[in-house]
Amino acid sequence: MKTPAGLKVAMLSLPGIICMQGFLLMALLFSPGVSAQVLGGSIHGNVQIDGQYYLTDSLIGAPEVPEHFLCNGFANFIYERDNFSAGLRYENYTNPILGFDSRYKGNGIPYRFLDYKNEELEITVGNFYDQFGSGVVFRSYEERGLGLDNAMDGLRVKYNPVNGIYFKGIIGYQRDFFSKGEGIVRGADLEWNINESIKALDSCKTKFILGGNFVSKYQDDQDPVYILPKNVGAGSGRLSIIHGNFNITGEYAYKANDPSASNNYIYKDGSATIVTATYSKKGFGFTLAGKRVDNMSFRSDRSATLNSLMINYLPAMTKNHTNILAALYPYATQPNGEYGAQAELFFNCKPNSFLGGKYGTDVTVNYSRAQSIDKVATGDDYGYTSDFLKTGKEIYFEDFNVEFNHKWNKKFRSIISYVYINYNKDVIEGRENFGHVYSHIGILETTWKMNSKNSLRIELQHLYTKQDKQSWALLLAEFSVSPHWFVAAFDEYNYGNKIVTERFHYYTGTFGYTRGSNRVQLGYGRQRAGIFCVGGVCRQVPASNGFTLSVTSSF
Amino acid sequence: MKKISTLVLGLLAVAAFAQDKTANRTLPKVDVKTLTGETVNSSTFDNAGKPIIIDFWATWCKPCIEELNTIHELYPDWQKETGVKLITISLDDARTMQRVAPFVNGKGWTYESYIDPNGDFKRAMNVNMPPQTFVLNGKNEIVWQHVGFAEGNEDEIYDAVKKVAASK
């Protein structure tokens, strides 16, 4: 279970191991260890390396890569003993792969912490991630696949003096690639779980959770023209009411005037409101959610752009599609103003019912829509006024989708889906005169479990649209041999492109080996230019052609 | 601030050279949320001395759902034979975390379910990408882990559980 030797290799050559010294990595990778025991505590970690060797393919618009081989890598190490833990992440982005922000170039240890925790109190120094409520005022988090990491560097105290009362206080700077933002972020959050704290209510069927927070940032003002606020405060209140299978949760956030590059330096205040109601019981679930965001970009540096130095998190209220063609036109939150709504229904058609067949069918129906808020320009430094209850006329995004997940018999299972997406390319991608893309997507996915070890999965996807690059078809096949091997191939074909010479095939082949918590994946293919999103935050990925290598390991 | 790095590096280096080979790694102490918003510390996960499976998943992760659906059919037998408990940790964040309860109930899953909305438990457990599955022995020590899911992997998970149950 333990392989000290393998771990020592990793520890001693930490900076060199990533990208360069692959053989050392292999030593680590193929050691069967789970974790190592040290000084009465334990040490454990994980590694991820993604490399790509780029070939020239000017036809699909792949940019020249003078280095030929680009690579992202990082390794986390955590030591734990009793109430104490410490950890660090070494990152190597000496030449980040295409699509990552070019400012994410460098290597070093941008993340390290020491943490002490007992029953009531937790103190963290160094880097930490945290969020207040749903994060509309404060969230520091990482999305490594996007190259997004706004970890705090400072001090955090969490205090839980009595049952049901949770206090958090934070202060520090935010990470900005391999440096830190100049703004100081400080804040506190209090959550009161009423039923947990009052014994008499503990068994009550209706539960209440209340919370509130305040966050402020400080950044000096050296602007020669404008008088910009050096301190900007924001706060929110939240309430959850749970009654049996019902749950209603709401949060309202307010931000003082905060002229910044994101809002074109207007002095208007900002706000965000999110309300979600859910009901569920065995075999049935329903969600209804609405939100309004008005001038709510909140960053620790007023001049920051793209995904840099964001203090808060404004999630997209749309379904996160995983099928390749359904994710061709993804939505990104519009922090300067949007109305959003989403409804979703899950139900299970019981076996031997009309839609159920012998084994039952899971059905999901989902609809979401995002559109502009009402804005009336004032012509002064405040920018505009907005009527809270009025929506604007412009639709940013609309998605209707339905999915059937059905098991035919012991060997065959299928997922059939239909997706309609109305995508406002101008607003979402910040372009002009492209207008909307209306697309209809059909997907049929079937898994054939041949025997207890082998299975084959086939996906057929088709996207129909008259706009943008017109229609696409996709065929994917994945064969896996449990527990270690898989091989997959797909071809994404832009057969409907009006420009006949641009009817490209984007084909990819992948081969992977998994053993325990180690995974190696090798691939070759052509990747189309596109937008890659997680949680409504996106990055543009250029077209490319080449070999990819991806290695992940936990130990 | 460089000092913290040096200190942490120093600790890790000392740790790496001073390994003893006795106890196994147990669960870190991290707060997660129940589906109704209560805070629970991961170190309190308990199955009265019987094996535990911890499964990291998300509502947007297809192989994760496949894995949990597959185990769902086998779960009553697994429980009967070994007393195992499966704990799911959803990595859904503020965008999709409200979907988790309806989703789990809609599927009819009977697992003990928690949400890790900012990835604190994920980080403490060194999970790269979901699905990642851990098997714990009766002392809450991590004895086996696996990333990804393909049809047939459920047998491997169950083999690890049976081994733990038998070694009691």
**SS3 readout for A174-193:** EEECCEECCCEEEEEEEEEE
Decide if B13 is inside a domain.
no
| Residue A314 Cα distances to A534, A535, B92, angstroms | 12, 9, 14
Closest by alpha carbon to A289, among A341, A367, A366? A341
Q: Given CB atoms, is B24 within the 8 Å cutoff of chain A?
A: yes
| Residue B70 Cα distances to A89, A378, B107, B153, angstroms | 35, 58, 12, 10
- pLDDT tens string A220-261: 998 888 889 999 999 999 999 999 899 999 999 999 999 999
Q: Torsions phi, psi of A278, nearest 5?
A: -135, 150
Q: Are B25 and A35 in contact (CB under 8 A)?
A: yes
Share of chain A above pLDDT 70, in %: 92
Burial (0-12, 13-18, 19+ Cβ within 10 Å), A222? exposed
A535 interaction partners in chain B (CB closer than 8 Å): 93-95
DSSP state of A318: S
What mean pLDDT comes out for the span A113-138? 96
User: What pLDDT score was predicted for residue A4?
Assistant: 40
Residue in chain A closest to B65 (alpha carbons) equals A405
CA–CA dist A72, A353 (Å, integer): 51
Total Cβ atoms within 10 A of residue A551? 22
Residue A141 DSSP SS3: coil
Closest by alpha carbon to A169, among A219, A207, A121? A121
Q: Over the Cα atoms of chain B, what is R_g?
A: 17
Instruction: Give the nearest partner residue to A11 out of B12, B61, B119, using CB atoms.
Output: B12
* Residue of A170, A282, A450, A485 best to disrupt the B interface, most CBs of B under 10 A: A282
Higher pLDDT, residue B6 or A371: A371
Omega before B131 within 30 of 0, i.e. cis: yes
Range of the domain at B86: 24-166
Q: Torsions phi, psi of B129, nearest 5?
A: -145, 145
> Distance from B90 to chain A by nearest Cα, in Å?
15
Q: How many angstroms from the chain centroid is the CA of residue B9?
A: 27
> Distance from A395 to chain B by nearest Cα, in Å?
20
Q: Domain residue spans in chain A? A: 322-503
* Residue of A9, A78, A243, A284 best to disrupt the B interface, most CBs of B under 10 A: A78
Yes or no, beta carbons of A37 and B25 under 8 Å apart? yes
> Distance from B131 to chain A by nearest Cα, in Å?
11
Query: In chain A, helix, strand, coil percent, each to 5?
Result: 10, 55, 35
Omega before A483 within 30 of 0, i.e. cis: yes
**How many Cα atoms occupy the beta-carbon half-sphere of A357 within 13 Å?**
14
Q: How confident is the model at residue B13 (pLDDT cuts 50, 70, 90)?
A: low
A249 interaction partners in chain B (CB closer than 8 Å): 37, 98
Residue in chain A closest to B9 (alpha carbons) equals A88
Positive or negative CA dihedral for A279, A280, A286, A289?
positive
What residues contact A283, with CB distance under 8 A and at least 6 apart?
A347, A348, A350, B105, B106, B108
A552 interaction partners in chain B (CB closer than 8 Å): 128-129, 147
Q: How confident is the model at residue A145 (pLDDT cuts 50, 70, 90)?
A: confident
Yes or no, beta carbons of B150 and A320 under 8 Å apart? no
Higher pLDDT, residue A89 or B20: A89
Tokens of residue B14, six digits: 């000392």
> Is the per-residue pLDDT at B79 higher than 60?
yes
A residues 147-166 lying closer than 8 A (beta carbon) to B: 153, 166
User: What pLDDT score was predicted for residue A353?
Assistant: 84
Yes or no, beta carbons of A114 and B8 under 8 Å apart? yes
A347 interaction partners in chain B (CB closer than 8 Å): 106
What mean pLDDT comes out for the span A31-52? 77
Number of domains in chain B: 1
Q: What is the CATH number of the domain that holds B79?
A: 3.40.30.10
A113 interaction partners in chain B (CB closer than 8 Å): 4, 8
> Is the per-residue pLDDT at B16 higher than 60?
no
Instruction: Give the nearest partner residue to B5 out of A80, A112, A452, using CB atoms.
Output: A112
Residue in chain A closest to B105 (alpha carbons) equals A282
Q: Given CB atoms, is A482 within the 8 Å cutoff of chain B?
A: yes
CA–CA dist A360, A283 (Å, integer): 11
CA–CA dist A321, A359 (Å, integer): 25
Q: Are A286 and A245 in contact (CB under 8 A)?
A: no
> Is the per-residue pLDDT at A538 higher than 60?
yes
User: What pLDDT score was predicted for residue A3?
Assistant: 39
Decide if B8 is inside a domain.
no
> Distance from A437 to chain B by nearest Cα, in Å?
24
* Residue of B40, B147, B153 best to disrupt the A interface, most CBs of A under 10 A: B147
Residue in chain A closest to B6 (alpha carbons) equals A112
- Which value does ipTM take for this structure? 0.89
Q: How confident is the model at residue A305 (pLDDT cuts 50, 70, 90)?
A: confident
Residue in chain A closest to B142 (alpha carbons) equals A34
Average pLDDT of chain A is 90
Closest by alpha carbon to B16, among A201, A470, A12, A473? A12
DSSP strands (E only) in B52-141: 52-57, 85-90, 112-115, 132-136
Residue type, B21: K
Q: Are A217 and A312 in contact (CB under 8 A)?
A: no
CA–CA dist A276, A287 (Å, integer): 7
> Distance from B83 to chain A by nearest Cα, in Å?
23
Q: Given CB atoms, is A241 within the 8 Å cutoff of chain B?
A: no
Q: Are B98 and B90 in contact (CB under 8 A)?
A: no
CA–CA dist A28, A75 (Å, integer): 12
Q: Are A337 and A347 in contact (CB under 8 A)?
A: no
A residues 311-340 lying closer than 8 A (beta carbon) to B: 313, 315-317, 320, 322
What is the side-by-side order of every strand in the sheet holding B112-115?
A: B39-41, B31-34, B112-115, B85-90, B52-57, B132-136, B142-147
Yes or no, beta carbons of B108 and A282 under 8 Å apart? yes
B125 interaction partners in chain A (CB closer than 8 Å): 554
Residue A445 DSSP SS3: strand
Q: Given CB atoms, is A376 within the 8 Å cutoff of chain B?
A: no
* Residue of A46, A195, A443 best to disrupt the B interface, most CBs of B under 10 A: A46
Instruction: Give the nearest partner residue to A284 out of B60, B106, B146, using CB atoms.
Output: B106
DSSP strands (E only) in A194-336: 206-218, 231-243, 246-255, 270-281, 284-294
User: What pLDDT score was predicted for residue A16?
Assistant: 36
Average pLDDT of chain B is 88
Query: CA angle, corner B105, sides to A534 and B101, nearest 5?
Result: 45
* Residue of B3, B7, B8 best to disrupt the A interface, most CBs of A under 10 A: B8
> Is the per-residue pLDDT at B21 higher than 60?
no
| Residue B130 Cα distances to A134, A228, A472, B31, angstroms | 22, 44, 29, 19
A74 interaction partners in chain B (CB closer than 8 Å): none
Decide if B81 is inside a domain.
yes
Least confident segment among A190-199, B18-27, B115-124: B18-27
Q: Given CB atoms, is A174 within the 8 Å cutoff of chain B?
A: no
One-character DSSP codes across A385-408: E--TT-EEEEEEEEEEEEEEEEE-
Q: Which residue has the tokens 């299978």?
A: A245
> Distance from B43 to chain A by nearest Cα, in Å?
11
Q: What is the pTM of this model?
A: 0.90
CA–CA dist A234, A373 (Å, integer): 21
DSSP state of A254: E
**E strand or H helix at A341, and its extent?**
strand A337-349
